[in-house]
Structure 1
Amino acid sequence: MSSWDLPPDYPLSSDFVRRLKSALATGDKDTVQELICTEAKPVDAVIELANDDWMKEPSAQLPTGALLGLWTLEYKRELTTPLCIAAAHGHVLCVRHLLSRSADPDASPGGRAALHEACLGGHTACAQLLLQHGADPDLLNAEGLAPLHLCRTPASLGCAQALLEHGATVQLECGPGRDTPLHVAAQHGLDEHAQLYLVRGARVDARNGRGETALSAACGAATPSPDEQARCLRLCALLLRGGAAADARDEDERSPLHKACGRARPSLCTLLLLHGADAGALDYGGASPLARALQTVTCAPPAAQHRTVQALLNYGSPSVWPDAFPKVLRTCAQVPAVVEVLFNSYTQLRVSESWLEVVPEEVYQTHEAFYRSFFALAHTPRCLQHLCRSTIRKLFGKKCFHLVPQLPLPEPLQKYLLLEPEGVLR
């Protein structure tokens, strides 16, 4: 019989658990220490902190899902030990005291041992104590994840260092996604963790269960804050310097560039292109990086919404099929700089006055100068300067970004050749 099936030493209904949960909720460290170090018996006592098994209580308020017949037979039950509680909250003195009383560092009645808790909380001192007392650095939790896979925050760098010093496997693949620690660092934009793992021998192009490399995982990760985006950019630069393939495809044939475009990350897209990413690559669904960029253009920083599209075109991405331009106009009308950059990538594209219907009236009014110049081209051919630009760009092809700056031309003309938007069309 497993510890899950045995009655806990301190069930949820006990006075001990009530006082412990109250102390934890209020941050009363002294009371927590008193309870888990003095009152809890034995030292590895099983403590029940949660149990939502409503089937055991006929008078319980049933969840909406149960009333609809959608409730599963699974329920949440949280079992833990004094050592796990101490490690989870960074109580170093409690951890030391419990270990001195021969607490088992690998006990995990609820599926997570104390070392897992310490890593999740980024409590380096607790992790070091546990490892010094024999905690298994590769012990898997109930989800099949090792402690290194739970080092998911900047604060957990010390825990990762301690784990590796005590023999943790840097290339361990585990969990539902068969991720390595480097994949986890990439998914969370942890550049310092990634550097640590690479120094310790992590393979930069190892694949997980979805066929992703760490670079691919990093490019597809959400980075909502500027700090997270900066860390992710440093991480990707580190991986590329370490030999990561800029064009590695996952199981859906998506490249890191596809994912960076899908996340509206102009700086990251430029970094990948500089390292040889294919601007014209197609995934299994036939989507190009440019298509992904156009779908997410309104999510990019306002000052850089056109940058990804501009970079892709300057690195040889095919433009949108002419017949599909009205769809692009409908999606990107509120970002006229994108419409301008894309429109200027064609030598000649016939403008139809019917396209005016897809531009919302308020958008037209906000950007009236641009759209007046745009629809004026329904009756006027492009200027000679634009035709010369198109000829030069066609000649340079995928090398536009590299060759145009070498031309003996004033900087404004170089920017013109590289599709820098001007705010009007001629």
Structure 2
Amino acid sequence: MSNSDYLPDYPLNSDLVKRLKSALDAKDEERVGDLICTEVTPVDAVIELANDDWMKDPSAQLPPGMLLGLWTLEYKRELTTPLCIAAAHGHAACVRYLLGRGADPDASPGGRGALHEACLGGHTACARLLLQHRADPDLLSAEGLAPLHLCRTVASLGCAQALLEHGASVQRVGGKGRDTPLHVAAQRGLDEHARLYLDRGAYVDARNGCGETALSVACGAARRPDEHGRCLRLCALLLRHGAEADARDEDERSPLHKACGHASHSLARLLLRHGADAGALDYGGASPLARVLQTAACALQAAPQRTVQALFNHGSPTVWPDAFPKVLKTCASAPAVLEVLFNSYPQLCVSESWKELIPEEVFQMHKPFYQSLFALAHTPRCLQHLCRCALRRLFGKRCFDLIPLLPLPKPLQNYVLLEPQGVLH
């Protein structure tokens, strides 16, 4: 039955719904519990909390998009049940009371059941009560999502454990993206969820609708700074369980492409240590190096030069010399990136015309570096640099592993590994 087929027992304009919405808005848990447990009948009554059917109100102000193209007679409204409300807000006592009165744990007039709501809110006690009353652990929502797909927060780990204990499928794909629960955990950086799913037999390299593995999804998700640690642990966990470090999605992008797109140097190094190809090309012909260079100016806080350095120390080809001016223009505000890149060439002809590519305020902000760059316009690189290039050419993709084994002082090892110094010689 579709959402529009239900006739609500308590429509939007009813007195009870008005009082219920007021209590929900005020976060008055006691009042919400009292309303749904003592005033709503029958126990599985359908409650209408919202309705955007503009055809019922000809004077309604319509969004501009509604006036363009073909109209549809469908509209959205929010239908729910007392059990769904109680589960969504973590009212375990209400959930127990309603189930005791015979409430259907799988009723879903709004497209999601009470178990979905409990998992979305991370309410483990409610989820366990529903499962104990035979709620379907694999019930699909209107969007094709099982409750495990809605375990999207750290707080939902207990819900995920309860679902698996009651037979939920860890391999189930859902939604338009055809994601598994492991994909969801990877997207959200939930390392403990991922560990739980892998321990329950989740296939580490399962593909979603875009051909992505969980590792690919994890590397492509944008992260807040406080989430980077969890993401790194999650990716390390996936790799320990045999995830393919170089798995390509439908656009031939590898996890390394995606990590470099966020200038995540710690993640890039992890992938490179597990055999990711530093020179891989996607369908558009872009390499991981190209991806980090494209984002460098917008990701200065992420120290993008570290990602560029890691790529070169694992065998990434450098930029075609004729394309260096274009990179100079794009990355002018990231001189450390330009320094690492410039030092990847034994010799690169510097042109005075390049000065026109650098905004004056950027030039003044990083004056020592740019002065050292243009001082090389008519001067060959120093012998030390040429020796560095000879060593790097000899070691190739193994620079990162072999250079630290050389009997050289640490500062000289760092120099050979392209550690930025702030100026060019």
TM-score tier by shorter-chain length is over 0.9
Quote the offset at 1:29 in angstroms.
1.1
Q: How large is the RMSD of aligned CA atoms in angstroms?
A: 1.3
Counterpart check, 1:137 vs 2:141: no
Q: What's the TM-score, normalizing by structure 2?
A: 0.98
8 Å CA contact 1:65–1:71 kept in 2: the answer is: no
CA distance in 2, matches of 1:418, 1:12: 67
TM-aligned CA distance change 1:318 to 1:385, over 3 Å: same
**Amino acid in structure 2 at the alignment position of 1:353:** E
Equivalent residue number for residue 408 of structure 1: 407
Q: Which residue of structure 1 aligns with residue 24 of structure 2?
A: 24
The residue that corresponds to 2:379 in the other structure is 380
**1:246 matched residue in structure 2:** 245
The AA in structure 2 aligned to 1:393 is R
Structure 1, unpaired ranges of 5+: none
Partner of 2:422: 423
Write out per-residue CA displacement over residues 182-220 of structure 1, whole angstroms, 9 at most, x where no aligned residue. Answer: 011000000000000000000111111111110001000
Supply the distance in 1 between the matched residues of 2:383 and 2:71 (Cα, whole angstroms).
68
How far residue 301 of structure 1 moved from its aligned partner, in angstroms, is 5.2
Deviations 1:380-421 (A, max 9, x none): 111111111111111110000111000000011100100001
Establish whether residue 264 from structure 1 lines up as the match of residue 263 from structure 2.
yes
| 1:362 aligned partner | 361
Amino acid at match of 2:325: P
Q: How does 1:52-201 map to 2 (within 5 A)?
A: 52-68=52-68, 72-201=72-201
Cα distance in 1 for residues equivalent to 2:106 and 2:302: 51
Q: What number of residue pairs does the alignment pair up?
A: 425
Matched residue, 1:302: 301
Tell me, yes or no, if the aligned pair for 1:373 and 1:425 is still in contact at 8 Å: yes
Structure 1 residue 63, shift from structure 2 partner: 2.8
What amino acid does structure 1 have at the position aligned with 2:143? E
1:5 and 2:9 correspond: no
Once the two structures are superposed, what CA deviation does each residue of 1:344-379 show, in whole Å capped at 9, x if it has no partner?
A: 000111001111111110011111111011001111
- What is the identity, as a one-letter code, of the residue corresponding to 2:404? P
Contact in 1 for aligned 2:48/2:78 (Cα 8 Å)? yes
Residue ranges of structure 2 left out of the alignment (5+ in a row): none
Distance 1:68 1:247 in 2: 44
Distance 1:335 1:62 in 2: 46
SS at match of 1:163: helix
- Contact kept, 8 Å, 1:108 with 1:114, in 2: the verdict is yes
- Judging changes above 3 Å, is the alpha-carbon distance between structure 1 residues 299 and 271 closer, same or farther for their aligned structure 2 residues? farther
Task: Measure the CA separation in 2 of the matches of 1:66 and 1:153.
Answer: 34
Change beyond 3 A, Cα 1:324–1:72 = farther
Instruction: Write the deviation string for residues 11-54 of structure 1: whole angstroms up to 9, x where unpaired.
Output: 00101100000000001112111111011000000000000111
Counting aligned pairs with the same residue, the percent is 79
What's the TM-score once normalised by structure 1's chain length? 0.98
TM-aligned CA deviation for residue 3 of structure 1: 6.3
Evaluate the alpha carbon distance shift between residue 244 and residue 6 of structure 1 in structure 2; reply closer, same or farther with a 3 A threshold: closer
Aligned-pair CA distance for 1:2: 5.4
Residues in 2 aligned to 1:6 and 1:138: alpha-carbon distance in whole angstroms: 23
Whole-angstrom distance in 1 between the partners of 2:114 and 2:37? 15
CA distance in 1 between partners of 2:213 and 2:60 (Å): 48
- Is contact 1:264–1:299 with CA below 8 Å preserved after alignment? no
Deviation at 1:71, TM superposition (A): 5.9
Change (3 A) 1:67 1:207: closer
> Secondary structure of the equivalent of 1:249?
coil
Asked if the contact 1:4–1:110 (Cα under 8 Å) also holds between the matched residues in 2, the reply is no
Name the structure 1 match of 2:343.
344
Question: d(CA) in 1 for partners of 2:59 and 2:333?
Answer: 56
- Matches of 1:152 and 1:62, distance apart in 2: 33
- Cα pair 1:17 1:49 within 8 Å, conserved: yes
CA distance in structure 1 between the partners assigned to 2:66 and 2:32 by the alignment: 36
C-alpha separation in 1, matches of 2:297 and 2:377: 26
Distance 1:174 1:302 in 2: 36
Match of 1:260, SS state, is helix
Asked whether the equivalents of residues 195 and 237 of structure 2 are also in contact (C-alpha less than 8 Å), the reply is: yes
CA contact (8 A) 2:190 2:231 kept: yes
Task: Provide closer, same or farther for how the CA distance between residues 107 and 329 of structure 1 changes in structure 2, counting only shifts above 3 A.
Answer: same
Counterpart residue number, 2:288: 289
- The aligned residue for residue 207 of structure 1 is 207
- Cα distance, 1:68 vs structure 2: 4.9
Partner letter of residue 28 of structure 2? D
Q: For the residues of structure 2 that align with 1:177 and 1:3, how far apart are their CA atoms?
A: 22
* Contact kept in structure 2, 1:171 and 1:180, CA below 8 Å: yes
Native 8 Å contact 2:177 2:208 kept in 1: yes
